A and B are shown apart, each in its own frame.
Chain A
Amino acid sequence: MASFAQLGNDLYTGRRQFDFVGKRRTWYIASIILMLIAAGGIFIKGLNLSLEFTGGSELRVPGVSNMDDYEQRTEDAITKAVGGESQLSVTQIGDNQVRIQTEQLGTGTPADTAKVRSELAKEFDVQRADVTSTFIGPSWGDTVTKQAILALLWFLALLSIVLALYFRTWTMAVAALVALAHDVFFTVGIYSLTGFEISPATMIGFLTILGYSIYDTVVVFDKVRENTHEAMSTGTRNFDQAANYAVNQTVVRSINTSVIALLPVAVVVFVGFVFLGPGTLLDLALSLFIGIAVGTFSSIFIATPLLCDLRRREPQMRELAKRAAAHQSSQKVAMAASGSRATPGEGVSGVVEPERAAKAAEVHRERASKRTTHPLARLDRDDS
C-alpha cells in the first residue's frame, strides 16, 4: 500500500494531478452516453416491479429437506388446496427454500391462503408456522410509490436550503442535486437493464443513495470551498484550478470511503444472493451497492466540473482568474529560468511543487538583486 500512500502524497503536493475539471467534456459525454443507455433501458425494457407493486401472493417454504421435483409438487399442493392456479411462478432460493409467486391464490382470500399454507407444509414436510405467506393488494404499490416520491421531494427541498446556507451559494446546491439526479437515474437504469427486481426495499435503497451521494459531494465541495478561500486571498490559482486541486486532494479519501462503505454492503449482497434470495436485506444492499459506486463517480466527475461551469462566469471568479493568470505567468518565467521540469499540477491545479517554488524564489531574488543597480530601483528603495 506504500504506492497508494505515495499517490496520496503526490496528489497532495501536486507532483501528480488528474485533470478532472479540464477534461470535463469527456466525463459529460461519457455520462450522457450512459444516461441514454439507462433511459433506453427504462423506457424500452421497463422495470421489473416486485409483487408489492403489482399485487398478488407470495409464499415461502423454508427448510425443505427434499427439493426433488419441487415445482410439480408445489403445483399439486396448490391444486389440492384451491383447485389450481394458472399464473404460478415457483422458484428455488438458496438450497432449501421454495418461493411461490402468483397474481391470485384461489379466490384471493386469507382462508384460501391458509389452506395453501397447510397443504404446502404437509407436502414439504415442514411446520405450518414456518411457511410464510404474503398477500398484497393491487393498490399497495401506488401507496408506497406516492410516499417515496413525497419523501424525495421533501428531501430535495430541505437539502437545497441546507446546502445553499452552508456553502453560501446556490451553485453548489444545484451541482450537488444534478449529481444526485444522475446517480438515481443511473441506478434505476442499471436495475432496468439487469432486470433486478424493484421492491419497496429497493426504493428505500434509492432514497438512501440520495443521502449518500450528497454526503460524498459535500465532502468534496467542502474542500473546494476551502481551496477557493485560499485562492481568493493569495491569488495564486483560479477557481477551476482550486476546484480541481480539491478533487485531487480528496480523491484518496473518496476511494477509502467508498471501499469502506462498499465492503459491508458487498458482503450483504453476497450473502443475500447466495443464501437468502430476494428480500429486504438483498434488495436494500444491492441498490446501495450500485448507488454508492455511482455516487462516488458523480461527486468527482460530474458535480465538481459542473460547479466550475456554474461559477466560472461570476465576476468575482473572473477577477480571481485574472490575478491567478498574472501570478502564474510571472512565476512561470521565473521557474523556466530555474531549469527544473514542470509538473502536471502547475497547469491543471495551479500547484507548484515546493522545490520548484523554492528555486523560482531563488531566481526571483537573484533578479531582484541584479536590479539594485538600476537607478529607478534605487529610487524605489529610497521611497520606502
Chain B
Amino acid sequence: MSPSSKPGRKKARPKTTIVALLLIVGVLFGGIALTTMQSPAGQWTPKLGLDLEGGRQIVLEPQVGEDQEINSQQVEQAVSIIRRRVDGSGVAEAEVTTLGASNIVVAIPGEPSEDMLDSLSASSQLTFRPVIVEQQNQPVEITLPQPPEPPKASAKPSSSGSKATAKPSATAKSSATSSGARGTYPEAYPAAESPSPKPTKSSSSKAPAKSTTKPAADKPANPSDEKWAQEPVESLWVKAGVVEKGATYQELVGAYNCADTEHQQLSAAASPKAPTVMCDQQAQAKYIVGPVEVNGSMVEDASSGPETNQQGQQTGGTQINLEFDDQGKKAFGDMTTRLSKFPETQPQNKSAIIIDGQVLSALGTNDAITNGKAQITGSFTPKSGKVLAEQLKFGALPFSFEEQTNDQISPQLGQDQLRMGLIAGVIGLVLVIIYSLFQYRALGLVTVASLGIAGLLTYGTVTILGHLANFRLTMAGVTGLIVAIGVTADSFIVYFERVRDEVRSGRALRAAVETGWGRARRTIIISDVVNFIAAAVLYLLSESNVKAFAFTLGLSTLIDILVVMLFTHPALTLLARTKFFGGGHPWSGLDPERLGAKTATYAGRGRVTIADRQAAAAQEGTA
C-alpha cells in the first residue's frame, strides 16, 4: 500500500499555485507603482479616513412632513447639489455620501470655516408663495428670542434654547433689519416695460381677511384665494399638537409661535400644495401663505450684486438677481400677473419668498413680470447675499435638513489612535505568532508566512482601492483588520488540526495533508461564507463607520480564502515532501509519536502502522 496520495486524486501542483499567488501579489503592487507614477494622487500608503486624518463630518437628516415620502432620486439630487456646493467652495477631497435610506454625510478634510459649513448644510429650499393674510406678531413673542446684541452674520433665527439642533436655516444669513421683510420687486432691469414709480410703503396691512364665515364648501379658486384661510389645516399641525383637528389656517395663525423652531420646521415641511403659516425672520409678522407657485428648482441662475434703484443708482444695499427657466418664467409670470391685480394695500398683493419655513421677504407686486427675471432686495450684506445666491444657483435642495451629528476630529487625535491601533495590531500579531510556534512548532512558521502574505495582499488591496474607489481606511476599518488576524489564523488552525487528526489516525503525512485538506477545506469555506455574509449584510445596511469595518472584515475574509487555497495548502503539500516534516521530526509539529500515533497498533482499513510510514517517509526523503 502506498503511503502517498491515493491514485485517482487530482495531481496537485503546489509550486505552480504558489507562483500564481506571488504573481497576484506582484501585479497588485505593480498596479500601485503604476498609480504613483501616473498620477500625483497615487500613493504607496492607504488613504486615511477623516477620523484618522482629521476633518469635519456632518450627518444631515432631511426634514419632511408626515405625508411626504422621500424617494432615492430626491436623496441623490440632494447629494449632488451638496457636492457641487462643496466643490464650488474650493475644498479638495471632500466627500458627500448617503447614509442609510435618506441621510447625507458630508466629510471635509481639515478644518473648514463655519461659514462654509453653514452654506453647505443650508437647505435653501426656496419657494414663492402668495401671501393671503399678514398680521403683526404679538409683541410678547418678539421680545423672547432676540438677544440684545446686534444681529450678526451667523445669528440664529431663534435661540430660544430649545434642543441643540443647529438649524441649517440659520444660514439664510440675511442678517436682515426690520425693514427687510417688506418691499417690492424693484423693476430696475431694463427689460421691464413699465417702471413702477413708487415703491410700496412698508406698512403691513392690518386686520386682514375679515373672517369670511362662508361654509368652506367651495374650494379656493387660486393660490391667493382668501378661502384658504378657512380650510382645515394639514394633519402635520394636528399631529404636532399645535392646533386641534379640524382647525382652520386662520386659527393656526393664532397658535403659531414665531419663536418656536419646531413650528418653523413644520412650516418648512408643509405640503407645497397646501397653504401654511409662517413668520418672517425677525418674528415681526405672521403670514398665511398659499400653495407654492414657484420653487427653487425653477431658478436657472442667481447672482448677487449691489442694489440699484430705478434710476440705476446704487443704494448701498445688496440684491439677489434671479433668472428663471422656462417653467419658472411662466409660473412667476402667472403669479405676478394675478398678484398685481390686487390693490397694493391688500396683503394679497404680496408674494412671500420663503426659505426653510420662514419668510425671507414679502414683496408687493406692481406689475406682471414675464421676462423670467426677478430681484430680491432684502437687507443682505454683500457676503450673505453671495452665499444665498450661490445656494440658489447650485440648486434648491428638495427638502430642508437638520444636523444629526457634527464632528470635528483633530488630526493629532486621529494619528494617536492610528499609531496605538497599529502598535496593538503588531503586538497582537507577535503574540499570535509566538502562540502558533508554541502549539504547532515548525508548522507555526507556515502560519506566519501565510499571515505575512495575507497582510501584503490586504495592504495592497486597501491601498489600490484608495486610488481606484476612493476607499479610506478609518479607525473602524483598522479594527476590522486587527480582528481579522484572529479569523485568518483560525483557518490555518482548522487545517492543521485536521492534518494532525489524520496523523493520529495513522495516516502518512503526505496522505494526511491531502485528506486533512479535503475535510478542512469544507469547514474553512462554510465558515468564511458565514463571515462574509455577516460582513456583507453589515456593509449593505449600515452607515459609514460600520461600513468601513464591514468592508475590511469582508475583504480579509476573501483574502483568507485566497491565501489558504493558494498558499497555505500548497506550502504544506511541499513541506510534507521534505524529510523534516514528512518524517515527522519532533519539531515539525507533526511528530506522529507526539501525536499519539505510536499506539496505533490496530490499523483499520486503509491505515498503516507507524513503522510503515516512517519507513516510507525515510525512503521518500532520500528519493
Contacts and interface: CB of A to CB of B under 8 A. Distances in A.
Interface string B524-548: 0011011101110110011101100
A132 B117 CA distance: 16
B409 A271 contact: no
A279 B417 contact: yes
A265 B541 contact: no
**Main SS class of interface, A:** helix
Contacts of B489: 257, 260-261
Nearest to B153: A111
B218 to A, nearest CB: 42
Nearest to B500: A8
Interface stretch (B13-21, B237-245, B454-462, B598-606): B598-606
A276 B410 contact: no
A329 interface: no
A281 to B, nearest CB: 5
A275 to B, nearest CB: 5
Contacts of B54: 129
Given A150-B541, A207-B538, A262-B486, A281 B417 contact: yes
B487 interface: yes
Contact of A288 (B408, B483, B490, B534): B483
A271 B545 contact: no
A123 to B, nearest CB: 16
B497 A256 contact: yes
Contact of B596 (A13, A200, A203, A271): A13
Contact of A253 (B431, B494, B599): B494
Interface in B237-292: none
Contact of B526 (A2, A166, A267): A166
A261 B425 contact: no
A32 interface: no
B261 to A, nearest CB: 11
A60 interface: yes
A148 B523 CA distance: 28
Contacts of A62: 410, 412-413, 416
B435 A260 contact: yes
The residue among A110, A252, A270 with the most chain B CB atoms within 10 A of its own CB is A110
Contact of A155 (B534, B546, B599): B534
B407 A135 contact: yes
Interface residues of A, number: 104
B420 interface: yes
A317 interface: no
Interface string A108-134: 111101100100000000011111111
B439 interface: yes
A166 B118 CA distance: 53
Contact of B164 (A57, A111, A128, A211): A57
B432 A135 contact: no
A129 B594 contact: no
Given A63-B412, A219-B527, A268-B482, A110 B537 contact: no
A211 B487 CA distance: 11
Contact of B424 (A56, A135, A250, A271): A271
B533 A5 contact: no
A211 B534 contact: yes
Given A12-B596, A200-B545, A211-B534, A110 B420 contact: no
Contacts of B404: 136-137, 139-140, 143
Contacts of A207: 534, 538, 546
Interface stretch (A18-26, A354-362, A367-375): A354-362
A137 B522 contact: no
Contact of B161 (A107, A265, A267, A357): A107
B334 to A, nearest CB: 39
B402 A204 contact: no
Contacts of A131: 408, 410
Contact of B165 (A12, A108, A264, A292): A108
Given A133-B407, A355-B599, A215 B421 contact: no
Given A257-B493, A260-B436, A159 B413 contact: no
A111 B114 contact: yes
A285 B156 CA distance: 41
B100 interface: yes
A263 interface: yes
The residue among A56, A166, A253 with the most chain B CB atoms within 10 A of its own CB is A253
A10 B597 CA distance: 11
B146 interface: no
B412 A130 contact: yes
B163 A108 contact: yes
A144 B590 CA distance: 49
Nearest to A226: B519
B546 A2 contact: no
B485 interface: yes
B424 A267 contact: yes
B438 interface: yes
B494 A219 contact: yes
A111 B59 contact: no
Nearest to B524: A219
A268 B435 contact: no
Nearest to B121: A110
A222 B424 CA distance: 33
A195 interface: no
A199 B474 CA distance: 16
B438 A1 contact: yes
B51 interface: yes
B501 interface: yes
Contacts of B537: 151, 154-155, 158
A211 B553 CA distance: 11
A360 B494 CA distance: 34
A250 B170 CA distance: 63
A279 B475 contact: yes
Interface in A39-73: 52, 55-57, 60, 62-63
A161 B463 CA distance: 35
Contacts of B170: 109
A34 interface: no
A218 interface: yes
23 contacts: A52-B405, A103-B164, A114-B114, A131-B410, A135-B403, A135-B407, A137-B402, A138-B164, A139-B404, A140-B405, A147-B542, A148-B542, A154-B537, A155-B537, A215-B531, A222-B523, A259-B435, A261-B490, A263-B486, A264-B427, A264-B431, A272-B420, A281-B420
Would you list the 6 A-B pairs with minimal beta carbon distance, nearest first? A108-B164, A264-B428, A261-B486, A211-B534, A9-B596, A135-B406
